[in-house]
Every structure is written in C-alpha cells, then in structure tokens.
Structure 1
Amino acid sequence: MFRFSASILAAGALMLVSASAFADDARVRLNKDYDEMTAAEKTAARTAGRDMWRTKSLATLRVCGDPGNMPLSSMQGEGFQNKMMEVVAEALGARLVHFWRPYLERGITRQTFETDDCDVLVDMPAVYRGVLTTLPVYRTAYVMAWRSDRGLDITGLDDPKLKDLKIGVYQTSAIREALKRRGHTANVTLHTVSHNGDLIPEQQPSYQLQQVLDGTLDVAAVWGPFAGWYATGKGEPITVLPVNLMDDDVPLEFDLALGVRPTNAVLKYALEFALDDKREKIEEILRSFGVPLVHCSRCVVSGDLPAHGSYTKPFDVMQAPRSAQSPDQLVNRERLEAWLAKGANVQVELANAVLASDEERIRFLVEKGGNVNTLDRQGYGALQSAARSRKDKLIPLLVELGADINGRDRDGFTALSNAAQRNHVPSIRALVERGADLELAVDGGFGPLSLAIDGGHFLAAKALIELGAKVNAVSGEDRVTPLMVAATWLAVGEAAKEIELRQGLRSTDIATALIDRGADVNAANAQGITPLMIAAARGNMAMLGVLLEAGADPDLKSHAGKKAIDIAADSLNPDAVKSIKLFQATLSGRAHQPDEAQSEKEKL
C-alpha cells in the first residue's frame, strides 16, 4: 500500500507511540494522525516529547539519509544533513542510525516509514502530504551561479544575456519551470534524476557546479545549498545570485523541516525541543556549508536574505505559457541525422523527443529504430513518460507507433497509473479511450482508482469512476476497497484545505461518487474492517455522516470483535462516538414512530 497500511486500518491494535518512553501515557496513540488529535492530546504529546528530550530517554534515532547527494548527505557522513542530525541525536541522548535511500519523490514514505526502516526524513518541505513535519529548521532558495572570472554580471532570470548562455538545471526543479516560462529550453542542459549518486559522483545534482568550473556550462540554475557549498565550503571562484524574489508565480524559496510519521506526534515535539536546544550549533553547520539562509521568523534558524513571502495562487506547471522556439533552437531531421551519425543513442533521443512533445521527431526516431516500449535511463517507456509529463496529445501517436497501452515502467506502474498519480484527467481519458486496463494494479497493490484516492488526486479519481473503474475492486492481501481508502482521508485539516483549493473536491465527494456507482458501504477487508470503522478510527466526522446515511451498518463487528463505536472509543474520538450514538438513536426513533396513515386510521 501507499499512504496507509492494513495494520492501521485494522484499528483494533491500539499501540502506544513508544512503549519504552511513555507507555504510561495512554492519551497518545499510534493509530491517530496529528490532524485528528484534540488540543488535549497534542498537549499530552508535547509534554511526552519534552520529557523525552529532558531525560534523554530515546535509545535510537533512525534517520533516512541519501547515500550520495553532497553537500546534503553521504554515506561517509560528510553532508550538512548528516552533521545536523548528529547534533539532534546528541540532544536527545540517542544513538544515531542511518537507513540509506536516495531521496526520490516516488516511494519516499512507502519505502521508509511504511517499511519501518527509519523514523525521520531530513529537509522535507514544511508541508508535505503523508508526513508530519516539525517547525521549519531553515528556509533556503534557488540560485544562479557562474564563474566569478567570467564577467557575466547576470542580473536575474529576465536578463537578456541568458539566451546566449548554456544553463544547467536539475530535471525536477522549480527553477527549470521558471526558466521555461521565459523561453529557455534549447539552451538548457538537464541533469536527470539518478539513483546512484553514491557510486558515481557525476550523477549528483551538485555536479553542475563542477561543470561551470570546467567551462562545459556557463551558468548553473540550482538549489542554493549546492552553489553555496562550492563557493563557501570549497572556496571555488563561484558567484551566487539568489533568485527567490524574481518570480511571483513559481515558488523559488522553501521552508525545510524534519519529517516523521503522521502518527508520531511525540517524536515531532521531541525533535523540536532538540532543534531549539541546538539552534546555534545547527546555524553554525548550515553557514559553514554556505547554505543561503532566507529570513524566516518561524524557522529554527533565520537568515539574512530577504524572503519573497506568500504566493497568491497555487503553483501549477500546466499554467506555464509556451514560448515559441527560434529557428536555431529547433531540432529538425537534419540535426538528428547528424547526431545519430556521430553515435547518438536513438533511444536517448526518442526519450528527449517525448519530453519535448515533438511528434515529428518521435516518428522519425521510430523510423530510425527507436522502440517506444524500451525503458529509458529513468525506467520509463515512451507512453509512461508521456503520462507522467501530462502530454496527453502524444498518447494517440505513441499507441499508433506500437506502445503497449498496459506496459509497465521499472517500478511496475502503467501509463494509466502514472496519469492517475499526476492527477491529469486528459491523459487518463486518452489512455482509457485506447484500451488502458482500468484495474491493473501496481505490484499486487492498488489499481489506478485506489492509487489516485490514496494520493489525494481527486480529479483523477472522479474521472476514473466516471469512466467505469470497478468501485468494489479489492487491492492486495488486505482486500482494501476504494471506499476504504477514501474513508482514511479527513475532510478537514491542512491537507484537505489544500486539495479543495486546488481541485474543488473533498474526500466526501469521492465517497459519494463511489456510493452512487454502487460501492458497498459494508464491505469488509481481510481483518473485517469496514469503511465506517476506518472513518470512526480516524474521527472522520464528515465521512461518518456520508457512510451512515448511505446505509453503513454500525453494528457490524471486525474479526477482533469491535464495532465502529468501539473503535472510535478506543481511538479516543469522543465526537465520533457521539455521532454514531445519535444516528442509532435517530434510527430507533424512526422505527418506533407509527406510520402516519395507520395513525389516522386508528383515530377514526
């Protein structure tokens, strides 16, 4: 599974957050998310966290670290994240243990928290779905960097000089989007996402600074800590220009925090006490690495650089205007012929053509032997790449050229699953119209519908429901249905507000759509858990109302012998208990209310 596990859905296992450190505090439960906790429960968790810090009672602090991404982290412990966590562990009296995993977005919580490999993720965005974060540790920004002896004197993202310069950017960076909106595509060199930076230093994102020094790039548009490390930590002749004030639509500054499981409020607070305790040492570490620190009143460490402040509208890469390419930027057949003649890899060029949405190039490269089903260096076939990039106009062409509509990428995702993860309805419709299987699951787990709901991609979920996805399909050995997944999503809280702002939908809207299509409100998973029990465990009041009104039976019992009201009580959700009792009383009143027609007859 992805956002939640069957053990949490079972809800009968009422384990304490940490039996060793605070087993006597029964008010803090492992199966309760932070957003669901009452003020009293949060106070109890904060007290337990403070006591953990004061008594130095945490035995082990398990941290997920990137094995090769300097200056952030390395297996040798050389990065500033490594050194910062050493200081935090010391403040907690804990032994520091690392689980090494590249910090790639896909699976970042599924392959760390849900597999119980670690308890802390470092430098997470302060708001990140599926993760409970501490107060921000610091705020930093993207920058532009170039050799100080080049005399470039670049003024910013809108400097006309940039069009004549070779600019290096990271594949998934926000600054790449900011540059694209200004027409910089052909003069941009991408540093692609890599899984093996620990083995090949040239694969690490910061390597583009070395390319600037070597002269293969004129400018690096990069994450600020990378450039700061070269300029300050390594003393290289690099000029660093923060760009966080130069775009009002694309966020180029970010608050970074430590992340824990949503159910581990005690550890969150313990970490916050430790961070505050070691504030000066942490700032010393960050500055020694040259991290550009932006002013942030709510951060543990505030900086001197001016902050942009809040952005007035949600950032969506699909809003980006497309700039026309100049003749010298176009990749035509003649250029491709020349590149191929010099030994260019046809599959690499095909992958580039898909990313560029260039249909003519794609056709030409297939004629030259390119295979649309061969996985690229990142593990995607052409169709999966198009779906991930929201390029729905390419889907008909790729299918025409032989793309397997149900083919899988290296992680087992079909194009439809990728489109669902990107919440892109046009791509979903284009794939389904051409025969994509609505039910193919990812490695025996979720199918596209449950995957979309689990990720909070409600536009995608709504489209899949309308296109005929099976609303009672079960996933995995735990036999979880889409309605069960929807029941885990609260209709209130920060995550819910963000989803409603961006998508205009709530989890209750998806639940209603599922029910309208015939979803079984009383379906039970492998542990006998129903959607109502899940909503009760999470104190999901709005969802409880939807399910009860749709006929959910509050008297059903799980295999552990628990009814929904029992699970609500065990999970310390008194409002859910009251809601179920009120509904049962209302039903009882209806049952004892005499039929109006019969009553009139009796009067006569």
Structure 2
Amino acid sequence: MPAWAEEKRRILIAALVALLASHAGPGAAQTSDLVSKTHLRVCADPANDPMSMEDGSGYENKLAELISSKLERSVSYTWFPMATGFIRQTLKAGKCDVVMGYAQGHELVLNTNHYMTSAYVLVVPADGELADVTQLSDPALQGLKLGVIAGSPPATHMARNGLIGKARPYQLVVDRRHDSPADDMLTDLEAGEIDAAVLWGPIAGPLVKRDHPGLKVVPLIHEAGAPKLFYRITMGVRQGEKVWQRQLNSLIRRNQAEIDALLIEAGVPLVSDMGEQVISVSQ
C-alpha cells in the first residue's frame, strides 16, 4: 500500500474513533477514572464492631490497611452508618471507592472475587451441656430459649425445628453507635437469660474471642434445606468499574494467605467455599 494510502487510512480510523466517542452516552465513560490513585478510599460504618471502627480497631480496618499497603497508598475513610442509603450516600456518590465486606451477588455493588466464606454460628457455654451440639435439629435444644437476630436466615431453620416459640429476638436494624444486638445477646447468654445464641459468624467469632472466652462458637454447616447459612464475602466497588475490580481481584488472589491469617487472628470462623467444611474457628 502506498504511503499516502496508509496515511489516509489512519486519518479515517482516527475520525471514526472520534465520531463514536462523541456519540457515546455518559455510561460509556471509563468509570475507573473515579478511583483515587493516591488513597484507598473506603466506605465504612464507624461503629460496626468488630468489623469496622472509627478508631481503626476492626478487622476490616486491618484488611483495608493490608490492601492499601499492597497498592502503596494510604487509607482514607468515608464514615456512614450501615443502614438504608449507605451505598447511595457513599460509594455511588463517589466519596469512596470500596466497601471492604459485602456479600457476593448483591446488586447494589460490583463484587470482587470473595476473600472469605463464613457461616452463621451457634454460640454456647464451652463447658455446658450444649458444648457438643453442632446443628439446630439436635434434640438437646428442644424447650430451650435461643437468642436470634429477628429476620435473619437462621430464624427459618429454628422455626422448622420447633425452636422459634421460646426464642428471644434481637433487633436486626439498629444504629450501632448506640445499640449492639450481638453484644447484648452474648451478655445475656453469659448471664443465663438465654441458653444459646445464633449469630453471624464474622460478628460472633471475634466478639467471643475478645470478650467472652467462656463461650464456644460452632459454625452451622449441617443445616438441611433453605436458606443457606454460609456466605461468600467480597469487596464491593461501583458498578462498571471493571478495571478496579480486576486490580482488587489480583490483590486478593496474590495475598490470600495474609488475608486468611488476619481473619483467623481476629477470630472469624472460616468455612469452605461450599460451606461443607470448617477451615478455622477460634475457641
């Protein structure tokens, strides 16, 4: 091809690219340009003990520090209560770029690959008569008073096994700056006001390890029927930010051993990806 023809071809291609760009809608923009190149900007609840805390003591704070160190960026936070409007007011508003812990498949965010799988747990006195119970269908639980977060998935299993009539419900949606249903439930268990507690493992495990050493955490991996009681936990980013998602996926894959060690140290119970086997639980 003569040089003049090659030059004409390049000009035509450039013109076509410009034309397509001029007709692209707002959604065609490279949304990953919104991601900070200097900070790991995290959206978090300031009082979501033991996960995220404004003083940096939560294990999700430590996870953010680990990820930021791999990115060679500093961490900055946008604090907002984990309630209705959380994603809209923070991530979608462009005030931050990632939520450290988000259940896989949630439509409000674009999920990274999961960095842990955990499950709901039964918490019982470590030296009591229920220490060997591993599932809610165990006859030893019949007639007892179990604490449960109202509306949480285990409540369905409790109803199926005849445990809901005497159960003590604790609120699902609260302002964690003022109320902590999980703490209240564990305190009531130690006081003998309830006989066992049913909680989300990543909350119960660290609280028991830190504040309630006389209790035992048992992941509920043997329950039959729906709903499932194990969940894969990811980092959530803005919809459309595939470049940023892939970058975090790579970081998770390359640093999974460090992430696991951080979670185990915090007391988070870990189970296999299909929820069939306990990998780690602190006692």
TM-score range, shorter chain: 0.7 to 0.9
Q: Equivalent of 1:90, from 57, 65, 69?
A: 69
Matched, 1:292 2:269: yes
Structure 1 residues 187 and 13: CA distance shift in structure 2, 3 A = closer
Is the 2:157–2:223 contact (alpha carbons within 8 Å) kept by the matching residues of 1? no
Q: Normalised by the size of structure 2, how large is the TM-score?
A: 0.81
**What are the within-5 Å matches in structure 2 for residues 265-304 of structure 1?**
265-296=242-273, 304=279
Aligned to 1:138: 116
Q: Equivalent of 2:156, from 177, 194, 203?
A: 177
Alpha-carbon distance in 2 for matches of 1:234, 1:136: 28
Is the 1:102–1:195 contact (alpha carbons within 8 Å) kept by the matching residues of 2? no
Alpha-carbon distance in 2 for matches of 1:261, 1:20: 10
CA-CA distance at 1:155 after TM superposition = 4.2
Higher strand share: 2
Count of paired positions: 255
Name structure 2 gaps, 5 residues minimum. Answer: 1-23
Aligned to 2:106: 128
CA-CA distance at 1:61 after TM superposition = 1.6
> Aligned partner of 1:220: which letter?
A
Higher relative contact order (CA 8 A, sep 6+): 2
Is the radius of gyration larger for structure 1 or structure 2?
1
Is the 1:206–1:226 contact (alpha carbons within 8 Å) kept by the matching residues of 2? no
Matched, 1:216 2:215: no
CA-CA distance at 1:177 after TM superposition = 1.7
**What are the within-5 Å matches in structure 2 for residues 112-511 of structure 1?**
112-153=90-131, 154-198=133-177, 200=178, 202-234=179-211, 236-296=213-273, 304=279
CA-CA distance at 1:114 after TM superposition = 2.5
CA-CA distance at 1:288 after TM superposition = 0.8
Is the 1:296–1:303 contact (alpha carbons within 8 Å) kept by the matching residues of 2? no
1:352-398 CA distance string (max 9 Å, x none):
xxxxxxxxxxxxxxxxxxxxxxxxxxxxxxxxxxxxxxxxxxxxxxx
SS in 1 for 2:190: helix
Structure 1 residues 167 and 20: CA distance shift in structure 2, 3 A = closer
Aligned to 2:10: none
Alpha-carbon distance in 1 for matches of 2:27, 2:204: 48
Question: What percentage of residue pairs aligned between the two structures are identical?
Answer: 28
Is the 1:169–1:176 contact (alpha carbons within 8 Å) kept by the matching residues of 2? yes
Alpha-carbon distance in 2 for matches of 1:13, 1:237: 54
Q: Which moved more, 1:120-129 or 1:152-161?
A: 152-161
Q: Normalised by the size of structure 1, how large is the TM-score?
A: 0.39
Is the 1:232–1:288 contact (alpha carbons within 8 Å) kept by the matching residues of 2? no
Please give the root-mean-square deviation of Cα atoms over the aligned residues, in Å.
Answer: 2.6
Alpha-carbon distance in 2 for matches of 1:205, 1:295: 24
Structure 1 residues 172 and 79: CA distance shift in structure 2, 3 A = farther
1:246-303 CA distance string (max 9 Å, x none):
2232200011100111111111111122223332221111001111111239xxxx96
Is the 2:206–2:266 contact (alpha carbons within 8 Å) kept by the matching residues of 1? yes
1:298-328 CA distance string (max 9 Å, x none):
xxxx9626xxxxxxxxxxxxxxxxxxxxxxx
Higher helix share: 1
